[in-house]
Each structure stands twice: as structure tokens, then as C-alpha cells.
């Protein structure tokens, strides 16, 4: 078994304007604007910044007919400026807007949860894309499955795969193959499980559609980068993924260097290795291989743990193989990897991509990042963030924050910073910070509390999935959120 390399899942080529993904093409990186799609100047300027940063596929929201029609002006201006950026329209709720956007863009992304199968809207869109030479993305969201899917499967990875497959089968029946598919969730475990199951389902039916990877609502800063790297890295390590987006609650162009770092990190692993994942580590049912309930960081290691260090160019595969070959299969294991990078963000992204999957799969019990250029406190914090992103140890408030787009109803980046300043010290708490209702209530389903844009200058607060207060003036919303957390007894300092 060659542990230094991997083989990407076989896919066919899909053209998105002048960009081709799938086949033997490198994994492409992309982003999404957060401007008003009716503001041509701002949208074009942002797309050009993203393109200059290396993101040559850019998505814009088209929530209504006005936005859909304005895509023509945006595309015309980009071309006049000499940019060949592949332009993608993002459609939610209104299938008729997809028909408008499809007249102008290189790809249309639709949410299958918004398409009744008995109306023929999807069939018409497929034919329109075929005639124009446009591509199509079937973008499944964990939090917005169709009622017919939810009633049978719930909001599960199985339901996400069922949703995608029924639309992929329609595309195949119509002999339309310019299709990309995605399985987005803010929960890395759900996200990885859904993508793995999708790849297996497509393989069973002989489908080779390219796959778009991403963790939704990852947040910002180093935490957002780590969360994205854990989910995306786990799948790139499996050979799954033809294009990726790192979703950050920051300027969209900031996403591109992180995505490029992930792609480059796996590019050197061309070849083959055996993915050792026996049934007991199947993605749907999470199980730990040892009795350790709270995985440790390097400063907490004691004599119970066996330390296994990765030395090859493919640390995830090497460590997985070493763990599964232990004589005592229940012995607690610490996984160790050295990183000589001098930048903390680079160390964090690489380590999250290499080691996070071992915690998602329940194989490892401790993490040891050997990073000589960082101080011990920095290293320990990165280790804790990786464990939290893999959902095995929660040591800080988790923020499920959307990256914002043209639908966002307030300054989400500034608001997230304010919410963090007031709540980041709390223990075992998840707070959803969402720009609008499109993904808000569904994608923050794991959150304990939610802060969601309801209208310009207005916020709706949630406890779990229950609406507590609607349409609060934004200037009052943060104080009301704090009061809500306190009144429910969840204002507990992490140091207590």
C-alpha cells in the first residue's frame, strides 16, 4: 500500500463558461459575492477582486427577477473589463427566477428543496441550460430539504443524498451531463457523511458528476478556517471533490487563499492508496474506538495514550492504517504531525485538513501538533479548535455564521464581531448568526440560540428552532440575545 499519495474520484468534465472542472483538471476554487446584485458597480468590482485573488468561479444571489435580469449587466461589464470569470446564479425559493438568470450566466445553482417535481420547472430549466450551454449545480442544503424528503428521512445525510439523487436521475434521463452536485451543512460530521454517501450512491448508479465541496456557515478568523479545513480536508483526502468554496464571514476575496492552500496541500498526493474505513467507522453512525470520552490536546497526554506520528506525505492515510493495525484495537491513541510553517494560520489549516478526519471517524483520542515556530499556547488553541470543529470536544462558544451574500439584511461581519465580544467566554454554547431567512432557521438547526436577519434593520431571535422574538430593532437585538441566554441559565463562563 502506497501511503504517500491518493487518487481522486473519477468524474466527467463540466464546462462553466471558460472554466472546466472534473476529469483531470485541478480542483477549482470559488467564492460568492456579498454585494447587492442590483448594484452593478459594486458586484463587478467584487467579482474582479475575487478573480484577481485566484477565484475564477464566482456566484451571486438572484433572489428576484430584478436581480436575475441585472446579471446580464454584470456579465457584460466583466467581459468589457477583460475578465473571463465564470459567473454563477444562486437561486432560492423561486424557480421562475432561475429561468431568468439562466439566460445570462455560465451556471445556475438551485436548491432542490424548492422544486416540486410535479410542476415541470426543473425539466424546463435543464432544457434551457442545455440550449445555452450553461451548467447546473444541484445544491442540497442540510437545513432546507423538501417536505417530501424531510417527512421520510428527516434532516439527515440520507435525506440529503436522496434529495440529490432524485434530481440527478432526472438529469441523466434527459441526457444532460453538465451538472455539479453539493451537500452543504454547517455540521462537519453531517457534511462529510453526506458527501461520502453521495459518492457511494453515484458510484452504484454509474454516475460521474463532479462534486462541489464546502462547509456552510463556518464563521470567521482562524476558527472558520479550521472548520472548513476539517470538513473539506476529510473529503479531499478521500479523493472526493472537484471544486471547493471556503465560506467565511469576511470579505469574499479572503476565502481564496485558504481554498488555494487546501488544494495545494493535497495536490502533491497524486496516485493511489487504500482507504481503510471498516463498517464500524461508517459515516452515518459515529462511534469511538476507545473508551476515552473527551479527546486530549498535547499538554494533557498521559501514560494511557499511544502516540502515533505521521511521517509520510499522506498523514491521514498513514495514521488511519497505523491505528487500525494496532494489536490492542481499543488502546487510546494520540495522533502527531510536525509542521514547520511559521504562520499560525497555515499550520492550523494544514493540521485541520490532515488530522480532523481521524476525529470525525472516531479513530483518534488525542491530537499533538508539533509546530516549532509557534508558542505552546497557540498550538494548544489550534488543537482545541480542531477538536471542536470535528465535534468531539467543545471548549469555546461555537458560531454558526453565514458568509453573507446579496440577501444579507445587515452588517453581519461587524455584528458577528460584536456578538463574539459579548459571548465568546461562554461554555458549551452554539450561536447561529445568519444574514437572512433563506438558510437561517434550517442551517443553524444545531445552534442553541439564533440571531437572524428578518428585514432591513430588524432581527429575529431563536432558541433552538423556536422563534422567541420577531423583528427586533437591530440596535436592541444583541442586548436581547444576551438577556435570552441569561434567562435560560446558559450564561456559564468557560473557566467555571
Chain segment 11-60, per-residue pLDDT in tens: 999 999 999 999 999 999 999 999 999 999 999 999 999 999 999 999 99
pLDDT for the residue numbered 395: 86
| Residue 371 confidence class, pLDDT cut points 50, 70, 90 | very high
d(CA 321, CA 306): 14
pLDDT for the residue numbered 317: 85
d(CA 285, CA 423): 32
| Residue 439 confidence class, pLDDT cut points 50, 70, 90 | low
Strands 458-463 and 135-141: unpaired
pLDDT of 303 above 60: yes
Helix (H, G, I), strand (E, B) or coil at 333: strand
pLDDT for the residue numbered 388: 94
d(CA 422, CA 327): 48
| Residue 207 confidence class, pLDDT cut points 50, 70, 90 | very high
* Average pLDDT of the chain, as a whole number: 89
pLDDT for the residue numbered 412: 81
pLDDT of 115 above 80: yes
pLDDT for the residue numbered 273: 47
d(CA 11, CA 208): 4
DSSP, res 251? -
What value does the mean pLDDT take over residues 186-213? 94
pLDDT for the residue numbered 4: 39
pLDDT of 449 above 60: yes
pLDDT for the residue numbered 276: 45
In the chain the domains, ranked by start, together with CATH numbers, are 14-216+236-245 (3.20.20.20), 279-389 (no CATH), 398-487 (3.30.413.10)
d(CA 224, CA 352): 11
What value does the mean pLDDT take over residues 163-173? 96
% pLDDT > 70, the chain? 91
| Residue 281 confidence class, pLDDT cut points 50, 70, 90 | very low
For 62-98, list the strands marked E by DSSP. 86-91
| Residue 351 confidence class, pLDDT cut points 50, 70, 90 | very high
| Residue 277 confidence class, pLDDT cut points 50, 70, 90 | very low
Phi, psi of 126 (to 5 degrees): -60, -45
Q: Which helix (H) or strand (E) holds 52?
A: helix 40-53
Cα angle 203, 205, 210 (rounded to 5 degrees) comes to 55
What value does the mean pLDDT take over residues 325-339? 93
pLDDT of 305 above 90: yes
pLDDT for the residue numbered 146: 84
What value does the mean pLDDT take over residues 5-14? 83
d(CA 136, CA 306): 48
pLDDT of 260 above 50: yes
pLDDT of 92 above 90: no
d(CA 453, CA 260): 31
* Cβ atoms of 376 and 299 closer than 8 Å: yes
| Residue 130 confidence class, pLDDT cut points 50, 70, 90 | very high
For 68-198, list the strands marked E by DSSP. 86-91, 107-110, 135-141, 179-184
Cα distances (angstroms) measured from residue 129 to each of 16, 21, 86, 193, 195? 11, 17, 15, 30, 25
Amino acid at each position: 500500500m502506497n501511503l504517500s499519495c491518493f487518487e481522486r474520484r473519477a468524474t466527467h468534465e463540466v464546462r462553466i463558461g471558460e472554466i472546466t472542472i472534473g476529469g483531470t483538471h485541478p480542483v477549482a476554487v470559488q467564492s460568492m459575492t456579498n454585494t447587492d446584485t442590483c448594484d452593478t458597480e459594486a458586484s463587478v468590482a467584487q467579482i474582479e477582486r475575487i478573480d484577481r485573488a485566484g477565484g475564477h468561479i464566482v456566484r451571486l444571489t438572484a433572489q428576484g427577477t430584478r436581480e436575475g435580469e441585472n446579471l446580464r449587466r454584470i456579465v457584460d461589464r466583466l467581459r468589457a473589463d477583460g475578465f473571463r470569470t465564470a459567473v454563477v446564479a444562486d437561486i432560492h425559493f423561486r424557480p421562475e427566477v432561475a429561468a431568468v438568470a439562466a439566460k445570462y450566466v455560465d451556471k445556475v445553482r438551485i436548491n432542490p428543496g424548492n422544486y416540486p417535481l410535479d410542476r415541470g420547472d426543473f425539466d424546463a430549466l435543464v432544457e434551457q441550460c442545455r440550449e445555452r450551454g450553461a451548467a447546473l449545480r444541484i445544491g442540497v442544503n442540510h437545513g432546507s430539504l423538501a417536505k417530501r424528503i424531510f417527512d421520510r428521512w428527516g434532516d439527515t445525510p440520507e435525506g440529503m443524498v436522496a434529495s440529490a439523487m432524485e434530481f440527478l436521475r432526472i438529469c441523466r434521463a434527459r441526457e444532460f451531463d453538465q451538472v455539479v452536485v453539493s451537500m452543504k451543512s454547517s455540521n462537519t460530521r453531517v457534511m462529510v457523511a453526506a458527501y461520502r454517501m453521495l459518492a457511494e450512491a453515484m458510484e452504484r448508479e454509474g454516475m460521474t458528476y463532479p462534486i462541489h465541496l464546502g462547509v456552510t456557515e463556518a464563521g470567521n478568523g482562524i476558527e472558520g478556517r479550521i472548520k472548513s479545513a476539517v470538513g473539506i480536508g476529510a473529503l479531499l483526502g478521500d479523493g472526493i471533490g472537484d471544486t471547493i468554496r471556503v465560506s467565511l464571514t469576511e470579505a469574499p476575496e479572503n476565502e481564496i487563499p485558504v481554498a488555494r492552500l487546501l488544494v495545494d496541500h493535497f495536490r502533491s498526493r497524486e496516485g493511489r492508496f487504500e482507504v481503510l474505513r471498516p463498517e464500524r467507522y461508517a459515516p452515518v453512525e459515529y462511534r469511538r474506538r476507545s473508551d476515552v470520552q473527551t479527546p486530549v490536546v498535547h499538554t494533557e497526554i498521559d501514560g494511557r495514550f499511544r502516540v502515533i506520528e505521521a511521517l509520510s506525505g499522506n498523514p491521514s492515510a498513514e495514521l488511519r492504517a497505523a491505528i487500525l493495525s494496532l494489536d490492542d484495537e481499543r488502546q487510546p491513541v494520540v495522533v502527531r504531525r510536525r509542521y514547520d510553517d511559521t504562520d499560525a494560520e497555515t499550520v492550523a489549516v494544514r493540521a485541520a485538513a490532515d488530522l480532523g478526519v481521524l476525529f470525525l471517524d472516531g479513530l483518534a483520542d488525542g491530537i499533538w501538533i508539533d509546530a516549532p515556530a509557534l508558542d505552546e499556547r497557540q498550538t494548544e488553541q489550534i488543537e482545541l479548535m480542531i477538536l471542536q470543529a470535528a465535534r468531539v470536544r467543545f471548549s469555546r462558544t461555537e458560531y454558526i455564521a453565514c458568509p453573507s451574500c446579496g440577501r444579507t439584511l445587515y452588517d453581519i461581519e461587524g455584528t458577528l464581531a460584536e456578538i463574539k465580544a459579548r459571548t465568546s467566554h461562554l461554555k458549551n454554547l452554539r450561536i447561529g448568526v445568519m444574514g437572512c431567512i433563506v438558510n437561517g432557521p434550517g442551517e443553524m438547526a444545531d445552534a442553541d440560540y439564533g440571531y437572524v436577519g428578518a428585514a432591513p434593520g430588524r432581527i429575529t431571535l431563536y432558541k433552538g428552532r423556536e422563534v422567541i422574538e420577531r423583528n427586533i430593532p437591530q440596535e436592541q437585538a444583541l442586548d436581547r440575545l444576551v438577556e435570552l441566554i441569561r434567562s435560560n441559565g446558559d450564561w456559564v463562563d468557560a473557566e467555571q
